[in-house]
Amino acid sequence: MDPSRARRHPWIWWGLVAVYVALIFALSSRPHLRAPVSFPLWDKLAHLGEYGILGFLGQRAAAASWPARGGRAYLRGALVIACGLVIALADEMLQAQVPGRQASLADFVFDGLGLSLAFVANLSLQRLGMRSRGVS
């Protein structure tokens, strides 16, 4: 996606966030859902990736809506992580009500790790992009 277009139309990113959150909740509401593969820690890696994607999309949406430099980028990241954690908590609470599913503190922790890693990756990519354009 053209970065300048995304800055002019941040709703594109927010639309992707909304669709992705809907997908998370749709999958969480399926009874007795099992992973297509099975190996130790598969579930935790799935949570890490699932919420890493949400963090990535949320960061891009927030950056397109509220461009920031320096410390403000960290505040924006904290807001995205906090909102993502609320979504993760709601997701775990939903799973506790679905037959054959269960809520797990460990899953919530890996959701938070995914969100945090996405923030660090986005910030690193942003800084790398600034360096390649000669911005210090």
pTM of the model: 0.84
> Residue 6: is it exposed, middle or buried by C-beta count within 10 angstroms (0-12/13-18/19+)?
middle
The pLDDT score that the predictor gives to residue 36 is 74
The pLDDT score that the predictor gives to residue 131 is 63
Spatial contact of 55 and 117, defined as CB atoms under 8 Å apart: yes
Residue with tokens 């799973």: 95
Task: Give tens-digit pLDDT for 14-72.
Answer: 999 999 999 999 999 999 877 677 778 888 999 999 999 999 999 989 988 887 766 77
The pLDDT score that the predictor gives to residue 104 is 92
Task: Give tens-digit pLDDT for 86-119.
Answer: 999 999 999 999 998 989 999 999 999 999 999 8
Residue with tokens 């949320």: 58
Domain spans of the chain? 3-132
